[in-house]
Amino acid sequence: MVSEDIVGRVSIIAPVYNEVDSIYPLYESLAKMMDGLGRPAEVILVNDGSTDGSAERLDEIAEKDERFTIVHLRRNFGQTAAISAGFDIARGEAVIAIDADLQNDPADIPAMLAKLEEGYDVVSGWRKHRKDKWLTRRLPSGIANWLISRVTGVHLHDYGCSLKAYRAEVLKDVKLYGEMHRFIPALAYLAGGRVTEMVVRHHPRIHGKTKYGLSRTLGVVLDLATVKFLLTYASRPLQVFGRWGGLMGGIGFLLALYLTVQKVFFGMALANRPALILAVLMILTGVQLISMGLIAELQARTYYEAQDKPIYTVRYVKIKEGRIRNGFPGD
C-alpha cells in the first residue's frame, strides 16, 4: 500500500424516503461505527420528499450530532437523485453510499475502506446471504445482475446492493440520471476506475415497506442500454449508427438491384411486389441511421470540446525522482 492510496476523511450518504421508524436506529448504528473508525467522518442524510414524519426526526439528529448533515429535497425525486445530491456536497476523500432501511450494516464500512486502501476506486457490496423474498426480489435481481455484468463487462454479483464505497475523485467523472445509481461501478469503470466487490451483511427489513418491485424492471433495462452506449460508443456514436445503417442500406440496395435485374432482363413486373417496398424501406432506414450517427457525432464533439472534456482519464504520472516535469529528459 502506497501513501497515495490512503483515504482520510469519510463521507457517508444515505437517501431517506418514508423511513421514520428506521431513522433513530440508523443514527445509533452509524454513530457507533464512526466512534471507532479512527478517522474524520460525516454523514449526509438526504430526505427525498418523505411524508411520514421522517423530516422532523432527521432535523433532531442534526441538532444532536454535528457530524450529521440533513439535506431536504423539495419533493420525491428518486434514489438516484438523492444519492447524487449527497455526492455533490460530500467532502471526504472516500464516499460511502448506504440504504437507510437498516438492511445494510454500517459495521461493514471499515472493511470497505480497507479495500479502498488496497488501491481500488470502487468497492461494491455483495449481499451473498440476502434476506429478501426469492420470487419477487432475489430471482429478478439475479437475472438483472447476470445481464448487467454481460452487457457492461464489469462482473459483479450484486449491482443492486446500495452499500458501496468510492474514492471521491472517481465520482467527479460520473453523472447520474434516471435510475442509474446501480450502474455507478460500470460508469466508474468507464472513467478508468478499478472496481472490486466484497461480501457484506444483510438484515431482514423490520420497519417500513420496500420501494422496489418488478415494475422497475423495464426502467433498469432502458438504463442498461444507456450505460452500454456510454461504455462503448459515447465518443464515437457514428460507428454504432453507421454500422447498422450501412447494413440495412446495403441489404436494401442488393434487394433493389436484384429486382432491377429481374425487370430489365426478364421482364418481370414490379407492381405489387412486397420486396420492392421492403428494399425502399431498408434503404431509407439506412440513410436515416447514418444521418442520425452524423448528428450524434457532432453532438459528441460539442459535448467534449465545449467542456474541454478529455476522452481519457489519467490515473497518475510517474517520472524519475528529482526530474523537472516541464523539462526534457537529459536537460
Mean pLDDT of the chain, nearest integer: 83
Cell of 310: 478529455
Query: 188-205, pLDDT tens digit by residue?
Result: 887 778 999 999 999 887
Pick the closest to residue 281 from 256, 252, 303 (CA basis). 252
Distance CA 291, CA 284 (A): 11
Query: 235-272, pLDDT tens digit by residue?
Result: 677 777 888 899 999 999 999 999 999 888 888 887 77
Query: 30-89, pLDDT tens digit by residue?
Result: 999 999 998 999 999 999 989 989 999 999 999 989 999 999 998 888 888 899 889 989
The helix/strand/coil state of 213 is coil
Query: 165-190, pLDDT tens digit by residue?
Result: 999 988 886 777 767 788 888 888 87
Q: Are strands 41-47 and 94-97 parallel, antiparallel or unpaired?
A: unpaired
Distance CA 188, CA 286 (A): 34
